[in-house]
Amino acid sequence: MLLGIIDISIVVAYTIFIIVIAQYVSREKVGHSKNAQDYFLAGKTLPWWAIGASLIAANISAEQIIGMSGSGFVIGLGIASYEWMGAITLLIVGRYFLPIFLQNEIYSMPQFLEKRYDGRVRLVMAIFWLGLYVFVNLTSILWLGALAVNAITGIELTYGLIMLGGCAVAYSLYGGLKAVALTDIIQVALLVFGGLMVSAISLNQIGGEQGVWGGFIELTEQLPEKFDMIISPESEHYKDLPGLSVLIGGMWMMNLSYWGFNQYVIQRALAAKNLSEARKGILFACFLKILMPVIVVLPGIAAALIIPDLAAPDQAYPEMMKLLPVGIKGLVFAALIAAILSSLGSMMNSISTIFTMDIYRQIKTNVDDSRLVTIGRVAGLSSMVIAIIIAKPLLGNFSQAFQFIQEFTGFFTPGIVVIFLLGLFWKKATANSALVAGIGSFIFSIIMREYWPDFPFIDRVGIVFILCGVMAIAISYIAPEPEINNTIVSEGAQNTVDSSFIIGSIAITIIIASLYLIWW
């Protein structure tokens, strides 16, 4: 047991506190029962600060904190491209995609696909996302969280899985998205504080009398190869981050799919009061993402210098937490628990939204809102039970879980991006072309992985995206549909852009460009 009584007390008190707060903010006014929009979209009342905080809280969990620290230990700062390029992608989403989604009152990504294409595309993609969220995302968050709990407290992995899953259910199952989003500002504040403490103490350990800044300088001098943002072809890690492809290649597809067309993430912005609030929330999230590598990558790089003989890379962050003093260790561990619970709650809500609104509601058309909310809660609870059962058998043998997640989702990402980009911006795209793009993405990816196993998966994503795009366009021309089922209205959606969004976008772009130039 690495935690003292004070640390344990802090963690327990925080867990109880956040569960109580979640129930409090989820309460309904007297005489009003929770309907589907309340549960799945927080009544479309989210302010900008809740949107921005919730975007980051959903994104940064054990998957990032433990997984990206592990990749930082092995690869270095280059893995931060997922964060910094993600911030640029968010700006694109806020400028071009989100206005169309909000103008058409979209509550789920499969719903958009039906309105733009047809019910077949909606059903196929809804089933795909359910499988991905339950068997990859939810499971990986649970597993990496349980690993962290085990490393810090000694709690056996199975009990850790049950504990985290149970707390997430208590935290988010009743209130839905509102419970998650309105408490995420607390979660993010604690996450940022805890992450900065781990980084500061790790660097102070290296710097000694020179302090935190001296430790950072020492780290860059001792391990200069860990501070290459653009990995050279000669590097053993080129397969994971293939050079300029992080700037002009397949990583764009990964990020567009995750930030623009992923129910788990975009649901927060869909629940905004209006477009202006949604864009302010996106700017807030972008500035936080610039900071994230300091929190989730730097501790892993520090571990490579302090304890280079780790048994597994994903142990880097828990090992760095051991350097913290009593009390602070409890706060940082509470921050880790906060990130895990927030992501688990967000994932459960997205699973329940897609299952209820895109599958169940299409089968049972005459269902009242109270029944839909009940079905959503059952779906969320069921997904958590499944994830707890399969987590260890599925992920127990992977040393870098973050890279596993990226490569697996990369099988489907190219097709998803093609389907949505054509659906948003090309009126001739047909339902058949969308289905071919989705199925072709998986087939092409499997073939390339089988016959060119050493080919970088990010480059593979880029090539498969081009192949799927060409096929979809060709099929739309060769076999056009006389009447395309397109009820999406895009005219006028992007006409107005607040000056604050423009100024913020320019500032974020300059900061990120400067970071790449410094560590090119």
pLDDT for residue 148: 75
Q: For the chain, what is the radius of gyration of the CA atoms?
A: 22
Do 445 and 464 contact (CB within 8 A), yes or no?
A: yes
Residue 414: other Cβ atoms inside 10 A:
30
Is the C-alpha dihedral spanning 260, 264, 270, 273 positive or negative? negative
Q: What is the pTM of this model?
A: 0.85
Of 77, 90, 137, 515, residue with least CA distance to 296: 77
pLDDT for residue 28: 61
pLDDT for residue 156: 87
pLDDT for residue 118: 86
**Quick one: residue 260, left, alpha or beta (phi over 0 = left, psi -120 to 50 = alpha)?**
alpha
Q: Which H, E and C letters describe 177-246, residue by residue?
A: HHHHHHHHHHHHHHHHHHHHHHHHHHHHHHHHHHHHHHHHHHHHHHCHHHHCCCCCCCCCCCCCCCCCHH
pLDDT for residue 514: 93
Task: Per-residue pLDDT tens, the chain, 520 aa: give them.
Answer: 567 788 888 888 888 888 888 777 766 665 555 566 666 666 677 888 888 888 887 777 766 777 788 888 888 888 888 889 999 999 999 998 888 888 888 888 888 898 888 888 888 888 888 888 888 888 888 887 887 788 777 888 889 899 888 888 887 776 676 667 777 788 788 888 888 888 998 898 898 888 889 989 988 889 888 888 888 888 777 877 787 878 888 889 888 988 888 887 788 788 888 888 889 999 999 999 999 898 889 999 999 899 888 877 877 888 888 888 888 888 888 877 877 887 888 788 888 888 888 888 878 777 777 788 888 889 889 999 999 998 888 776 655 555 566 667 778 889 999 999 999 888 889 999 999 999 999 999 999 988 988 888 888 989 999 999 999 999 999 988 877 777 777 776 666 788 888 999 999 999 999 998 888 8
| Residue-range domains of the chain with CATH | 5-26+34-409+490-518 (1.20.1730.10)
pLDDT for residue 396: 67
Of 82, 410, 455, 86, residue with least CA distance to 242: 455
- Residue found by looking up tokens 């407290």 in the block: 153
Q: Report the C-alpha gap between 338 and 99 in whole angstroms.
A: 31
pLDDT for residue 37: 67
Q: Report the C-alpha gap between 285 and 277 in whole angstroms.
A: 12
pLDDT for residue 308: 85
Q: Report the C-alpha gap between 247 and 277 in whole angstroms.
A: 29
